[in-house]
Amino acid sequence: MVNEHVLTVSLEEFGLSKYEAQAYVTLIAKGTISASELAYYSEIPRTKTYPTLLKLENKKLVIISKSKPIMCTAIAPEDAFDGIIHEQINKVNAMNSLISDLKKASEESRKSRGSEERRYFHMSANNVLSQLKTMIEGSKSSIKIMTDQWGFGLLAECKEQLLSVLRRNLDVKILVSPSQICSESYRTIPDGVEIRASDITQNCFIFDETELLMIDNDNGKGAIFSSTEILGINQEKIFSDIWKNAIKTKALADMTKTEAQEIYKIIKTVNESGLMHILNSSMISKKTDLDMLKLLEKNGISLKSKTLDDIIEIIDAVMQITCSGHVNFEANTKNISLESRLNSGHSLPWVSILDGCLQKQGYKTRTVYQNNSNKGEKVLIKISKN
């Protein structure tokens, strides 16, 4: 017996909607039936049954009676689809002829220009993963990747290939969207791959600065671009520009996804709005430390419920990411030191936030700033209870 589900899916590929395909297959199987019976047997919602029948009638696939109850009959397949089949055959022949003409025109144009032929290859969604694994293994010097959640999931299935190229000391860098920090896919990527986070809207894999694999996250299809200096250079530049300003994620690797997302949001908020916020608030208030906390709260980040240890851990991770620094709490002396390898005030926003949190928790603070142009900067916060 013919599987009705298979017939329905095949008709969808023929250009019919899901409901149209279900209705036509049901009418073929049941013969002439009422519209209500059609809704029952085809499992189409009653409100959709009559509009579906009208569409099928317009496509000359069914006949609908004018009397009530409305009766409907499927037009025999050989009559219904004969014209469509011939139309499709004519379209395929016309496309083959067009492609032949275009190929001739391309060859003649290339000969007249004396230029090297550039090639790109399309791939179906089923072949993209195996091709990605092959291209990773075949890399000679570097792999640079910009990928969203969908592409990152594919990359997570290439762990063995990534380990192989890391053993050959290849430079492997990945830019991911912020939502992927500490995700399951993130934890699958082996140590040795440097991952940074930024707003990514494409899936582009750059191999040895010459070959590109682009993947469409809407349908999973891919395209390989080979020997494309201009495209390769352009994508390399885009990658480098984003990479410079992207947020490092190594310090977040052992955290939960929620904790990592919170720290990313803190850094992004301060980087984008912190300086302007301090400049504006300094005109009306001298408490810039508390103003920084208000900026975070305004952007949905509350540190009120955090313990002192939690806050120090957060600021320590932030310092590692933004200025290669760290935070140290000396329990005996009640001093907190913040050290940064970079000078010129890179640690000051985080000192301000930590100082504000301490004041909120009832501590009295005194801040001592030390700057060493060769070694970076160090800030000491001396604390005591009010």
CATH of the domain at 348: 3.30.1380
Judge if 299 and 343 occupy the same domain: yes
- pLDDT at residue 283 in the model: 45
- pLDDT at residue 225 in the model: 80
Judge if 99 and 154 occupy the same domain: no
Judge if 319 and 365 occupy the same domain: yes
- pLDDT at residue 117 in the model: 44
Judge if 184 and 229 occupy the same domain: yes
- pLDDT at residue 133 in the model: 92
Domains in the chain: how many in total? 4
- pLDDT at residue 111 in the model: 57
Judge if 239 and 309 occupy the same domain: no
Task: Give dist(CA 240, CA 264) in Å, integer.
Answer: 20
The pTM (predicted TM-score) of the whole model is 0.61
Judge if 45 and 111 occupy the same domain: no
Residue ending a domain, among 224, 248, 272, is 248
Q: How far is CA 316 from CA 50, 213, 231, in A?
A: 65, 38, 40
Task: Give dist(CA 132, CA 22) in Å, integer.
Answer: 38
Task: Give dist(CA 24, CA 26) in Å, integer.
Answer: 5
Give per-residue pLDDT as tens, 76-90: 888 877 777 777 777
Residue ending a domain, among 248, 266, 287, is 248
Q: Which domain holds residue 34?
A: 4-80
CATH number at residue 47: 1.10.10.10
Regions in the chain scoring below 50 on pLDDT: 1, 113-118, 282-284
Give the H/E segment covering residue 269.
Answer: helix 257-269
- pLDDT at residue 155 in the model: 92
Give per-residue pLDDT as tens, 247-297: 899 888 888 888 888 888 888 888 877 656 555 554 445 555 557 788 888
- pLDDT at residue 145 in the model: 93
Judge if 380 and 258 occupy the same domain: yes
Judge if 366 and 282 occupy the same domain: yes
Instruction: Phi first, then psi: give them for residue 253, nearest 5 degrees.
Output: -60, -35
Helices 46-58 and 35-42 cross at an angle (nearest 10°) of: 110
Judge if 243 and 190 occupy the same domain: yes
Task: Give dist(CA 13, CA 21) in Å, integer.
Answer: 10
Judge if 185 and 154 occupy the same domain: yes
Residue ending a domain, among 248, 275, 291, is 248
Judge if 208 and 100 occupy the same domain: no
- pLDDT at residue 1 in the model: 42
Judge if 380 and 261 occupy the same domain: yes
Please tell me whether the peptide bond between 51 and the residue prior to it is cis, using omega within 30 degrees of 0: no
